Structure 1
Amino acid sequence: MSNTWKLMKLMVKMQLSFAHRSTAEKSGYLILAVVMIPFGLLILTLLNEMIAVMYEAFSPTGDEAVILGILFVLMTVFYCFITIGTVLSSFYFAEDVESFVTLPFHPYQIAAGKAAVPFLSLYGINAVILLPALGFYGLHSGAGILYYCWSFFIWLLLPVLPFVLTAIAIMFIMRFVNISKNKDRSKVVAGLLGFVFVIGINVVIRLESGNQDMYQLAVEQGNLLELVTKFFPTAYISSSALTAPASLQGILYLILMIGISAGGIALFFTIGQKLYFKGVLGLSGGKRNTFTADTVEGYVKKKPLIYSLCKKEVLLILRTPTFFTQIFVQSLILPVLAIVLITMEMDGPIGGAGAQLADMNGKTVILASAALSVVIFGSNPASISSISRDGKSWFNHLYLPVPPSKVIMSKMLTAYLLNAISLILLSAAALWMINIPLPIWGAWFILSLLISWIASAAGVMVDLYSPKLDWTDEREVFKGRFIGIVPLAIEALVFGVILVIVLNIKSLQGLWPVSGALFIIFLLLALLTQRALKKITERRYHKLL
């Protein structure tokens, strides 16, 4: 265990050390910490209010433990979702993986070392959400000192089992999926795990809950805790341990939680020893291709330059696991989740939303729709990583006979394409599921195309102005950078001012007059943004290195 502990400390220092970070990056972390203070206070206030309301509702029936059960279930789901991406990136897709394989360490030791930072990241989430929530529950319930002691142990133990079970599932899948001849395909499948997980969990929870009145069920049956934690045994055990910490039952539940966590860690080491290397070694294999005259001719056939550049960008995103999950999956997760929610709520209020919109003021509807589009398309991960994705290979652009304007345009069109896919999915749900009136949809669709174009250009400009090209791991393109906030903040300010001004022009009423005015304003804004992108390209393109 001594070598395991040393390896874990080494990998934590390698990934979290500030020694290699620039002054600007260190300043960025300080600024973020200051900015997050009011945001953190807002989260704490909301948590306190939610727990207070729930405690007032459940305490008369003696079911206040349900609050803890709901909290632990939500946190467990969140742990699993976060772990999928971090484990895939750290265990299999980091640049240093194969370097550690050659060192004289057991597979379980390297797996433990690679797990250190992803596991510690869960405690960052714990410190922000779970720790204050447990404290607020203790204050509202008038709990004693023993509750807070037990809460600290539960706080430490709760992430263990979700993390190790998710990591084991990923190791098992990568052992059999990630064979060399299907390398690219397996990475794409692995990246989709997080996407499917979010949708699947939502479906399961909604199917389980149905349309039952949960509070009434608590009054009638008195077993709401078992129902809420039905699929999450550790949530039930943790809730039971904290409900009566001074009782023998509470102590036994805490001991059981400790035993389950220890068993999970032992199982992780055992499975890691058996499967980890087999999954990692599959990454280094290749595929023998057989070329014929027809296939070669197809590859070398002349195509439009902008088409070839866009194709290169799309393939880079699809074939690089980190880019695939951070860009492609994140771009589609919101529209697909919206479609799932709409499908499952067709018999509820959502099913009649189309008729309600038809009866509303056209001006209010189109302004609200435009504001929603700004939120959805305002921060496009493809645009804010457009230059940084190239990394140290950016210098290739400096001697290739390709105009800078074509390179930048291809990157912007790639980002715009992803937004367009999301827009088409949302449009399909709006037209065929909610039955939104065609005029409202048409106006929103056209304005959203312009908003998406402006957002894509803004994101490329921000990344062109301050790219991260010295990364050694694709995760660094997104990790610790606040670039996604900048274009979203600028767009929110600009579009917000425009929408407020239009809202207050009393003479401008009706769906089509308002939509026409917004179309002209957004079109002018798109032209100005495109001109600004051209200027910054001329100024920055050859100076990035």
Structure 2
Amino acid sequence: MSNTWKLMKLMVKMQLSFAHRSTAEKTGYLILAVIMIPFGLLILTLLNELIAAMYAAFSPTGDEAVILGVLFVLMIVFYCFISIGTVLSSFYFAEDVESFVPLPFHPYQIAAGKAAVPFLSLYGVNAVILLPGLAFYGLHSGAGLLYYSSALLVWLLLPVLPFVLTAIAIMFMMRFVNISKNKDRSKVIAGLLGFGFVIGINVVIRLEGGSQNMYQLAAEQGDLLGLVTKFFPTAYISSSALAAPASIQGILFLVLMTALSAGGIALFFTIGQKLYFKGVLGLSGGKRNTFTEDTVEAYVKKKPLIYSLFRKEVLLILRTPTFFTQVFVQSLILPVLAIVLIIMEMDGPLGGAGTQLAEMNGKFVILASVGLSVVVFGSNPASISSISRDGKSWFNHLYLPIPPSKVIMSKMLTAYLLNAISLVILSAAALWVIKIPLSIWTAWFILSLLISWIASAAGVMVDLYSPKLDWTDEREVFKGRFIGIVPLAIEALVFGVILVIVWNINSLQGLWPVTGALLIIFLLLVFLMQTAMKKLTERRYHNLL
């Protein structure tokens, strides 16, 4: 085990060390941490109020453990969601994976080392949500020291099984996916399967948890906790352990949780020893291309410059596994998940949402819709990585006879394309599922097109101002960079001020007058963003290296 610990510590230092980071980058992290303090306080306040309201609702019937059950279920889903991307990237997509194979380490030791950083990243989520959630529950329930001691142990153990089972499932999948001997295609398929896994989890939860009859039956039988945690045994065990930490039953549940976590780790080592190398060794396969005169001529035909640059950017995202999962898949998760949730709730309040929107104040509807669009399209992974994706090859742009404006515009169009795809998906749900009025959809769609352009420009400008070009692994473009928060925060401030001003102009009433005013303002913003983009390009384009 000593070699395993050494390897884990080495990989953690390699990925998390600040030794190679510039002073500007370290200063940026410090500034970001200071900026995030008020947002953290807001999250804590909302979480406290939510737990207080739930405790007031469930405590009269003795079902307060349901609060813990809901919290643990949500956290387990978060763990699985986060682990899919981090495990794929660390275990299989990193450029240093195959360099560890010849070293004198067992497969399970290398798998444990590669798992260290992805697993530790789960405790970031734990510290933000689960830890204060458990503390607030203890305060509202008047729990004693034994509760907090047990809660700390549960806090440490809860991520273990979700991470281990997700990692095992991915190792098993990659063992067979890589039989194709095509590295990039295998990774893309793995990313799509992970995307489908996330959507599938939510479908199952909605199908099983949304039945009112089941809720009433569980309430009558006093087993609400069992209903909430039906598909998450560790959530049930953890909730039961903390509901009565001083009882024999609570202690036994805590011991059971500890034993399951230890068993999960042992299972991970066992499966890693048998499957990890088999999946990794399949990554080195390739595909032999056969060139003919017709295929060569098809590729060398003269095409518009902006089209060729745009096509290159799109293919780079689709053919680079890390960029595919972090950019393309991440851009589509929220829209597709929103459609799934909407469809699952059509028998509930959303079933009559279209009619309700038609009867509401048009000014309120369009302003609320614009605010939603800012949140959905505000941080585009394609825009905030547009320059950084080139890495050290950015130097090629400095001697190729290509105007800088064309290069930047191709990156803008790539980011805008992904936002446009999300917009089309959401539009399909709005028109054919919710059946919102055509007038409201038209106004929202036009304004959202402009919002997407502004958001794409903001992301490209932020990445152009401070790109990450010295990476040796594509994951470094996204890992440890909070650059996505910067354009989103700026857009939230700018659009928030605009929406508040328009809301308080009493002379502006009705759907179309408000839409017309917003359209003029957004067109002005587009012009200002393009002017700023031109000036920033002239100042930064040739000085990035």
Q: What TM-score, normalized by structure 1, do the two folds share?
A: 0.96
Partner residue of 1:258? 258
CA distance in 1, matches of 2:487, 2:250: 50
State how far apart, in whole Å, the 2-side matches of 1:322 and 1:283 are: 14
Deviation of 1:533 (Å): 1.3
Residue type of the alignment partner of 1:110:
I
Gaps of 5+ in 2: none
**What is residue 513 of structure 2 aligned with on the other side?**
513
What is the aligned partner in structure 2 of residue 477 from structure 1?
477
The answer to whether 1:335 aligns with 2:332 is: no
Q: Counterpart in 2 of 1:233? A: 233
Pick which of 390-399 and 245-254 moved more.
245-254
Residue 187 of structure 1: aligned partner: 187
Within 2, Cα distance between the matches of 1:520 and 1:187? 44
Partner residue of 1:61?
Answer: 61
> How far apart are residue 408 of structure 1 and its match?
0.8
* TM-superposition CA deviations, 1:42-98 (whole Å, max 9, x none): 222222222222222222222222222222222111111111111111111112112
State the alpha-carbon separation in 2 of the partners of residues 312 and 279 from structure 1: 29
Q: 1:511 to 1:44 in 2, by over 3 A?
A: closer
Contact 1:83 1:163 in 2 (8 A): yes
Does 1:305 pair with 2:302? no
Q: Which residue of 2 aligns with 1:268?
A: 268
Aligned to 1:290: 290
Partner Cα distance (2:396, 2:26) in 1: 29
Partners of 1:502 and 1:58 in 2: CA distance: 41
Question: Residues of 1 paired with 2:377 and 2:42: CA distance?
Answer: 25
Taking a change above 3 Å as real, the CA distance of residues 128 and 371 of structure 1, as seen in their structure-2 partners, is closer
What is the match of residue 407 of structure 2? 407
**Structure 1 range deviating more: 115-124 or 487-496:** 487-496
Indicate yes or no: 2:153 matched with 1:153.
Answer: yes
Residues 315 and 140 from structure 1, CA distance in 2 versus in 1: closer, same or farther, beyond 3 angstroms? same
Aligned partners of 1:64 and 1:192: how far apart in 2?
Answer: 38
Deviation at residue 215 of structure 1 after TM alignment: 6.9
The separation in 2 between residues aligned to 1:14 and 1:468, in whole angstroms, is 17
Are the counterparts in 1 of residues 181 and 284 from structure 2 also a CA contact under 8 Å?
no
Per-residue deviation, residues 151-177 of structure 1 (Å, max 9, x unmatched): 222222111111111100000101110
- Taking structure 2 as the reference length, the TM-score comes to 0.96
1:435 aligns with 2:440: no
Deviation at 1:207, TM superposition (A): 0.8
Residues 1:448 and 2:448 are matched in the alignment = yes
Q: Are the equivalent residues in 2 in contact too, given 1:461–1:533 (CA < 8 A)?
A: yes
Structure 1 distance, partners of 2:334, 2:454, is: 20
* Alignment partners' CA distance in 1, 2:125 and 2:378: 25
Q: 1:219 to 1:422 in 2, by over 3 A?
A: closer
Instruction: Tell me: CA distance 1:482–1:249, structure 2 relative to 1, closer, same or farther (3 Å).
Output: closer
1:431-463 C-alpha deviation (Å, 9 max, x unpaired): 111222212211211111112112212221121
Change (3 A) 1:37 1:500: closer
Partner of 2:173: 173
Match of 2:380 in 1: 380
User: 1:325 Cα deviation (Å)?
Assistant: 1.8
Q: Residues 519 and 152 of structure 1: is their aligned pair in 2 closer, same or farther, counting only changes over 3 Å?
A: closer
SS in structure 2 at match of 1:406: helix
Deviations along 1:510-536, whole A, 9 cap, x unmatched? 222222222222222212221221222
The equivalent residue for 1:104 is 104
* Per-residue deviation, 1:484: 1.6
- 2:137 aligned residue: 137
Aligned residues with identical type, % of pairs: 88
Structure 1 contact 48–133 (Cα < 8 Å) conserved: yes
Aligned residue type for 1:388: S
C-alpha contact (below 8 Å) 2:182/2:283 kept by paired residues? no
Aligned to 2:118: 118
Specify the SS of the correspondent of 2:212.
coil
| CA apart distance, 1:108 | 0.6
State the SS of the aligned residue for 1:179: helix
What corresponds to 2:82 in structure 1?
Answer: 82
Question: What is the correspondence of 1:516-535 to structure 2 with a 5 Å cutoff?
Answer: 516-535=516-535
Residues in 2 aligned to 1:395 and 1:428: alpha-carbon distance in whole angstroms: 42
Are 2:91 and 2:115, in contact at CA under 8 Å, matched by a contact in 1?
Answer: yes
Q: Distance in 1 between matches of 2:227 and 2:371?
A: 39
- Alpha-carbon distance in structure 1 between the residues aligned to 2:521 and 2:141: 55
How far apart, in 2, do the equivalents of 1:245 and 1:513 lie? 60
What residue number does 2:249 align with? 249
Q: For the residues of structure 1 that align with 2:364 and 2:61, how far apart are their CA atoms?
A: 43
Q: Which amino acid aligns with 1:384?
A: I
Deviation for aligned residue 1:216:
4.6
Pick closer, same or farther for the CA change 1:496–1:140 going to 2, 3 Å.
closer
Q: Secondary structure at the match of 1:178?
A: helix
Alignment of 1:37 onto 2:55: no
SS at 2:181 equivalent: helix
**Cα distance in 1 for residues equivalent to 2:509 and 2:222:** 54
Contact kept, 8 Å, 2:51 with 2:137, in 1: the verdict is yes
Q: Structure 1 residues 438, 219: closer, same or farther in 2, change over 3 A?
A: closer
Q: 1:473–1:236: structure 2 CA closer, same or farther, 3 Å change rule?
A: same
* Contact 2:381–2:484 under 8 Å retained in 1: yes
**Contact conserved, 2:180 with 2:186, CA < 8 A, in 1?**
no
1:396 is matched with 396
Farther-moved stretch of structure 1 (159-168 vs 506-515): 506-515
Please state how far the C-alpha of 1:270 moved relative to its aligned partner.
Answer: 0.8
Asked if structure 2 preserves the Cα contact closer than 8 Å seen for 1:80 and 1:162, the reply is yes
2:447 alignment partner AA: L
